[in-house]
Amino acid sequence: MINAVLFDLDGTLLDTSEDLGAALNHVLAMNNMAVVEKAIYSSAISDGVAAMLKVGFGDTLHQFDVNQLRQSVLDYYADNLAKHSHCFANIGALLDSLRKQNIKVGIMTNKPEFLTLPLLKQIPELAMIDIVVCGDTLSVAKPHPEPLLLVASKLGVDPSQCMYVGDAERDIIAAKSAKMKSAVAMWGFTLLLQNLQK
Give the catalytic positions in this structure.
8
Residues 6+ apart with CB under 8 A from 197: 39
Contacts of residues 173-180 at CB distance under 8 Å and 24 or more positions apart, as own/partner, are 173/142, 173/143, 174/108, 174/142, 174/143, 174/144, 174/145, 174/147, 174/148, 175/145, 175/148, 177/143, 177/144, 177/145, 178/145, 178/148, 178/149, 178/152, 179/145, 180/6, 180/148, 180/152
In one letter, which amino acid is 106?
G
Cβ burial, residue 144 (10 Å; 0-12/13-18/19+): middle
Helix (H) or strand (E) holding 108: strand 104-108
